[in-house]
Amino acid sequence: MKKKLLCMLMTAAMVLALAACGGGSGSAEKSTEAGGQATSDGKTLKVAMECAYAPYNWTQPDDANGAVQIKDSSDYAYGYDVMMAKKIAEELGYDLEIIKSDWNSLIPAVQSGTIDCVIAGQSITSERLEMVDFSEPYYYASIVTLVKNDGKYADAKGLSDLEGAKCTSQLSTVWYDKCLPQIKTDKKNILAGKEDATAMINSLKSGEVDLIVTDMPTAQGALVTNPDFKLLDFNGTDDNFQVSDEDINIGISVRKGNKELVDQINSVLSKMTADDYNNMMNEAIKVQPLAQ
């Protein structure tokens, strides 16, 4: 009887040991309700961004200034969005994983659940809110214009002074969809949208266009590396782009219905002030690589 009992106990112990090893489909990859991926050490927050949108995010070859290695790459990501992702992950006790994705793939990725959230300078628009949920704003970005110092529109004092300009911006952004149509110019002068911020900036740099429309941080970052650019800020005048609060409020998007993760992110953002945001952005602009 004792031998039989001992045998049963040994068998049960072996079953438990095998279960602990996770030899099946891998319970270590099971998603938590909050969106983070459970790991042996806790949770990993999977964050997607372009890694090509300085000063919000960019790619660099090393971990200088605290950059985070991009998943499945030898390169690293840094910038305002990475700083914010690191702060959120640290506050929530998560490990952090940065996934590089092109702009138009960001929302589909968060909808599919392959990532937990997007931190990539996204405006909280009503159109996007139909597809994903958003945190509270983690930055407020006013709309501005970049031109060449010696260009035809360098002395523009308002939107009406941009009449006839050849222009472009980044595809699928408020800048392209809502702001460019407000410039009085022929439709042929509004060039196709650029796939990312770098391509947009290069279109002005090369002389392909007279001006580009973007947000203040992107413009400030471009000025650091392009001293022949000039920033035109019509904010505070009656002759400015007409945009709503939703167009300049920048948020973190998560899968529709993932209230727990939204609440967790908001709990971190609620502890930050406008000065915190501005200081972090100024630091990102200061350390962005010259290649951007």
Half-sphere exposure of 132 (CA within 13 A, CB side): 27
Q: How far apart are CA 23 and CA 193, in angstroms?
A: 48
Closest CA to 260 of 116, 99, 126, 145: 116
Locus of tokens 């809110």 = 129
Name residue 120's amino acid.
A
* Cβ-proximal residues to 26 (8 Å cutoff; 6+ apart), any chain: none
CA distance 285 to 7: 67
Do 180 and 130 lie in a common domain? Answer: no
Query: Does residue 264 sit in the same domain as residue 128?
Result: yes
Q: Is the peptide bond before 55 cis (omega within 30 degrees of 0)?
A: yes
Instruction: Kindly state whether residue 16 falls inside one of the protein's structural domains.
Output: no
Do 78 and 118 fall into the same domain?
A: yes
**Total domain count for the chain?**
2
- 50 and 124 in a common domain: yes
Do 112 and 37 belong to one domain? yes
Residue 211 placed within a domain: yes
Is 54 within a domain? yes
Domain check: are 135 and 148 in the same one?
Answer: no
Question: Are 85 and 210 found together in one domain?
Answer: no
Asked if residue 120 and residue 97 are part of one domain, the reply reads yes
Q: Which tops the pLDDT comparison, 110 or 42?
A: 110
Neighbour-count burial of 288, counting CB atoms closer than 10 A to its CB (0-12 exposed, 13-18 middle, 19+ buried): buried
Domain encompassing residue 97: 32-139+249-287
On whether residue 20 sits in a domain, the answer given is no
Judge whether 21 lies within some domain.
no
Q: Is the pLDDT of residue 22 over 80?
A: no
53 lies in the same domain as 91: yes
Q: What is the percentage of the chain residues whose pLDDT exceeds 90? A: 80
pLDDT of residue 28: 30
The Cα–Cα gap between 287 and 103 comes to 23
Answer yes or no: is 85 within a domain: yes
Instruction: Report the CATH number that the domain containing residue 215 is assigned in CATH.
Output: 3.40.190.10
Which residue's entry shows tokens 């392909």?
208
Quick one: pLDDT at residue 192? Answer: 97
pTM of the model: 0.77
**Predicted confidence (pLDDT) per residue in 235-272, tens digit:** 999 999 999 988 899 999 999 999 999 999 999 999 99
Q: Is residue 69 part of a domain?
A: yes
Which amino acid, 284? Answer: A
Whether residues 211 and 270 share a domain: the answer is: no
> Are residues 253 and 132 part of one domain?
yes
Task: Give the pLDDT score at 27.
Answer: 29
User: Is residue 8, in this structure, part of any structural domain at all?
Assistant: no
Does 151 lie in the same domain as 118?
no
